[in-house]
Each structure stands twice: as C-alpha cells, then as structure tokens.
Amino acid sequence: MPEPLLEVEDLSVSYLTDSADIRAVDKVNLSVHAGEFLGIVGESGCGKSTLLFAIAQLLSPPAEITSGRVVFRGQDLVQLSDSELRHVRWRDYSVVMQSAMNALNPMKSIGAQFKDTMRAHEQASADAIRSRPAEVLRLVGIDEAHLDSSPHQLSGGMRQRAMIAMALLFTPQLVIMDEPTSALDVVAQRSLMTQIKELQQQFGFAVMFVTHDMSVIAHYSDRVMVMYAGQVAEIGETSSIFERPLHPYSKGLLDAFPSVRGPRRPLTGIPGSPPDLGRPPSGCRFHPRCSEVMAQCVTTEPDLYLVEATQVRCLLYAAHREAASA
C-alpha cells in the first residue's frame, strides 16, 4: 500500500474563549490516498468544518490546533510558517468553500480573480496566467466568455463550478470541499457531483468532501467518515457504511432519510440533540441518544475498533481489536 497523500494524526482543535475551552475536534485520525474520494459526514456541531479548516490551515482565533499532525506529502503542515505554506497552498492542495458568494469578490470579474490567485502563489509564468483561467472554466463546462462576468451575474450552480475551477488552477493533488452543493437545487447538485467525479477521473486528484447530507456522496465516495461530537464515529468503505452501518449513529442517520423510491416506512430520526462540546457526556458521547445503549457506555469511553475494514467507535464492538491509529 503506497504512502497516503494526507495523514492526519491525533488532531485536536479547541476554541479558546474566556469562559471555556471547547474541544471541537478530538484526536481525529484519518488518511487520504492519491485519487481517493473521502466523504466526511456529520450534523451541525460535530466538528467537520472545523476539522476541514484545521487541515487546510485556515483556522483563525479563537480556534487553535492544540495537538496532532497534518502530514501532507511527508510535511507536517502544522509546523510550517505562512510563507512555507504559501508554496503548498493551491499548488498541492486547494479548498472549495461552502458558499461561492462568501469566497468570491463581488466587485471583480471571475477572470481577474483567477489571475490574482495565480499571481499570489508565484511561479506561474505570464503565459500560464493568461491561458489557464479560460482552460479551467472550460473544464467545468462554463463558457470562456464568463471570464468577464462578476459573480452575481452567474447562477448559483455556475458559481460553484467557478469555485471548483479556481481550485483546479494549479491541478493540485488534493481538493478539499466544504459542503459545495448545499445551496444548490437537486438537479444542479447531481450535475455538479457528476462533474467533480469526471474531473477527478481525468486529473487523478484526491477529494475530501464535507457534508451534512449523506445521500449526496453515496454514489461518489470511495470511503466515508462519520463524525459525531468532534470524534470519528465510524470510517470505512462507502458500500460498507451504507449497506452495513455499524455505529448506532450511522444507522440512525441513514434511517432518517425519507426515500423517494422504495416503500414508505415510518421515519424515526434520532431523539435528543448533539451534546454541548463544552460539557460532553461521560463515557460514549452518543450514549444519551443511543437506542442500543449498554450500562458500560455511560462510564467507558470507547476506542476505535476494527471490524473487518471498518473502524467504529462503539462498545458494541469492543471484542474486536483496537484499530491502529492511522
């Protein structure tokens, strides 16, 4: 098995405020191999966006990485200075934000912003700066003429594609995406996902895709990681997670989706609410909401256990051996 492209080891992120330290990400381990599509799924407050930002080194105070490493192509990104990061950012990995309107400058044309981005990361020849923006727009199916458009002149779907185009300016090896489809309609969403997959197959980059909606990535990801209360609840091959979810939370999440096709059945959802990360429950963080809770779940914090190829943080599987980290 070749070395993973990205390896996150024991990463913890806290929000340091006057009144409390809130640990939004708690000792998360994950790895992404070249060309792989990893989906990170969780609901609000689970820490997935914080995790994403931490990996991309985009955290701002009061959020801080308090421990762990983010090893990307052999380098620990956490230890790099800003100027060293600049060489890696956008060339080797790039980020697609949740809302294009938040990330794009409404006053400038798309083409100008692409050029700015290229210039900011140096080592781009004048020729490249001239031709590359049009190339990437074509890749995502947008007419070159839109290089002169400003963001609000494009529809929501086109804006998101433009964001993806921007992320591909230097053909990075890893593209990190934070819920890029959540503001899109179902048809536009499908179209965008298909596009992402095609590009991935064409250029071979890896994708880390954060979403609250499991169904979006169901047909596109290779592996899925389910997060709960700042921890990894379950991580494994997509088919395993969807066909045989092990963690009661994953099961509950899958069952919470009403289906359009197939028989109608009662929906239960998951009772209760995600915990306050400033005061997480004792033992297993999911135990207050778990339908399969056992006595020891209240007192013992479960480790990640390895069940065939899936890692799951649940005492139901304590008999299996602990997964080696990463």
Sole binder of other proteins in the list 84, 119, 148, 272 (CB under 8 A): 272
Token pair belonging to 308: 């065939």
Task: Name the H helices within 57-125.
Answer: 82-88, 100-103, 110-120
Binding mask 235-254 for other proteins (x = CB under 8 A): -------x---------xxx
Closest distance between other proteins and the C-beta of residue 296, in Å? 20
Which of 122, 159, 108 is closest to 137 using CA atoms?
159
Task: Give, as ranges, the residues between 68 and 87 that touch other proteins (CB under 8 A).
Answer: none
Closest distance between other proteins and the C-beta of residue 118, in Å? 26
Closest distance between other proteins and the C-beta of residue 80, in Å? 19
Sole binder of other proteins in the list 20, 85, 120, 298 (CB under 8 A): 20
Q: Which residue is listed with tokens 């005492």?
A: 315
CA distances from 210 to 82, 127, 179, 324 (A): 25, 35, 5, 24
Q: Binding to other proteins by residue 58, rule CB under 8 A?
A: no
Task: Give, as ranges, the residues between 94 and 123 that touch other proteins (CB under 8 A).
Answer: 98-99
Exposed, middle or buried by CB within 10 Å (0-12, 13-18, 19+), for 233? Answer: buried
Backbone angles phi, psi at 69, to 5 degrees: -130, 150
Q: Binding to other proteins by residue 283, rule CB under 8 A?
A: no
Q: Using CA atoms, how far apart are residues 268 and 271, in angstroms rounded to an integer?
A: 8
Q: Binding to other proteins by residue 27, rule CB under 8 A?
A: no
Closest distance between other proteins and the C-beta of residue 32, in Å? 21
Task: Give, as ranges, the residues between 181 and 200 that touch other proteins (CB under 8 A).
Answer: 182-191, 194
| CB closer to other proteins out of 134 and 184 | 184
Closest distance between other proteins and the C-beta of residue 39, in Å? 11
Q: Binding to other proteins by residue 212, rule CB under 8 A?
A: yes
Q: Which residue is listed with tokens 């890696």?
A: 88
Backbone angles phi, psi at 63, to 5 degrees: -85, 140
